[in-house]
Amino acid sequence: MNKLVSVTAVFGILLIAISPARAIPIYTIADFSGGVSTVTGLGNSLGFQQTSTCSGCAAGSVGGHVLFDKNLIPASGTGIVNIALASITGASNYDIFNIVLGSKPLGFEFGDMNVTGSPSIQFKDGVFNGFSLVEDFVVNGKTYEFSMQGSAWTINWLKSISSSSLVALGYVTIGDAGLINQASFFPPLPELPATAVPEPATFALFGIGLLGIVMTRRRIARR
């Protein structure tokens, strides 16, 4: 029995040395949609119209897509959790997060300048609950602020440091039906150099494994 345990342990060391285990992210890409609830006169000039009064028209449309690590979705009962979106090898900023509003159209994506904090996807009790994002932008010399908190988004005209005026507000569809057309995304595997050399630690573990096999065989031969 001791012989079997010794050999098993040695082979375990060899497996660790030769092929270390790595956690692989499970990326998911999905589409989302929404609508426009309220529009002011300034909002009309930016190409907005209420979705309820222009069903199917570009002026009342809201849509986009997002790419996230499915492993990071929190469990049910955890409340509201924001998970920051991050750069992913092989994916463009447009793929990671993009939202388009109105008929002009106004568009925002991951990596934009003037973003306050990293854009985040939001979950509530493990279910899609919208996004968290604040970004300033300029149109025709006026500075605006686009803000998303959960399922709601707003656009305000920043008239001064202490004064703002509503331009438009709306929503994105949340819950189980919020993220549609979900598909797996597989980043391209990194290419290893042709002259790749194992690390010293790998050599050390490999050597220990070989020595263990030799010692075990000697003990078996003596008996």
In a domain, 72, yes or no: yes
Of residues 188 and 122, more confidence is placed in: 122
Answer yes or no: do 78 and 107 share one domain: yes
Residues 77-110: tens digit of each pLDDT: 999 999 999 999 899 999 999 999 999 889 999 9
Answer yes or no: do 100 and 7 share one domain: no
pLDDT given for residue 221 in this prediction: 56
In a domain, 190, yes or no: no
Answer yes or no: do 113 and 206 share one domain: no
Q: How confident is the prediction for the chain on average, in pLDDT? A: 83
pTM over 0.75? The answer is: no
Answer yes or no: do 120 and 152 share one domain: yes
Answer yes or no: do 134 and 156 share one domain: yes
194 — pLDDT class (breaks 50, 70, 90): low
In a domain, 102, yes or no: yes
What is the number of domains present in the chain?
A: 2
21 — pLDDT class (breaks 50, 70, 90): very low
What long-range pairs does 4-10 form, CB within 8 A, spacing at least 24? 6/212, 6/216, 7/213, 7/216, 9/212, 10/209, 10/212, 10/213, 10/216
Domain extent for 144: 27-185
2 — pLDDT class (breaks 50, 70, 90): low
Query: Cβ contacts of residue 92 below 8 Å, gap of 6+?
Result: none
Asked if 158 and 136 count as a contact pair (C-beta separation under 8 A), the reply is yes
Amino acid residing at 84: A
202 — pLDDT class (breaks 50, 70, 90): low
In a domain, 195, yes or no: no
Answer yes or no: do 58 and 72 share one domain: yes
Answer yes or no: do 136 and 206 share one domain: no
In a domain, 191, yes or no: no
Q: Tell me the range of 71-80, 182-191, 202-211 where mean pLDDT is highest.
A: 71-80
How many C-beta atoms lie closer than 10 Å to residue 132's C-beta?
A: 21
How many C-beta atoms lie closer than 10 Å to residue 68's C-beta?
A: 26
Answer yes or no: do 13 and 61 share one domain: no
Kindly tell me the burial class for residue 136, based on how many C-beta atoms sit within 10 Å of its own C-beta (0-12, 13-18, 19 or more).
middle
In a domain, 209, yes or no: yes
The percent of residues above 90 in pLDDT, for the chain, comes to 64
In a domain, 193, yes or no: no
Answer yes or no: do 175 and 218 share one domain: no
SS3 label, residue 219: helix
Q: What is the mean pLDDT of residues 165-169?
A: 97
Q: What is the mean pLDDT of residues 31-57?
A: 94
pLDDT given for residue 153 in this prediction: 98
In the predicted model, is pLDDT for residue 5 greater than 60? no
Residues 103-161: tens digit of each pLDDT: 988 999 999 988 987 899 999 999 999 999 999 999 999 999 999 999 999 999 999 98
In a domain, 196, yes or no: no
Of residues 218 and 28, more confidence is placed in: 28
Answer yes or no: do 72 and 152 share one domain: yes
Beta strands in the chain (DSSP E): 27-39, 61-69, 80-84, 97-101, 106-109, 120-124, 127-139, 142-150, 152-158, 164-172, 180-185
11 — pLDDT class (breaks 50, 70, 90): very low
Radius of gyration of the chain (CA): 27
Answer yes or no: do 131 and 170 share one domain: yes
Answer yes or no: do 173 and 215 share one domain: no
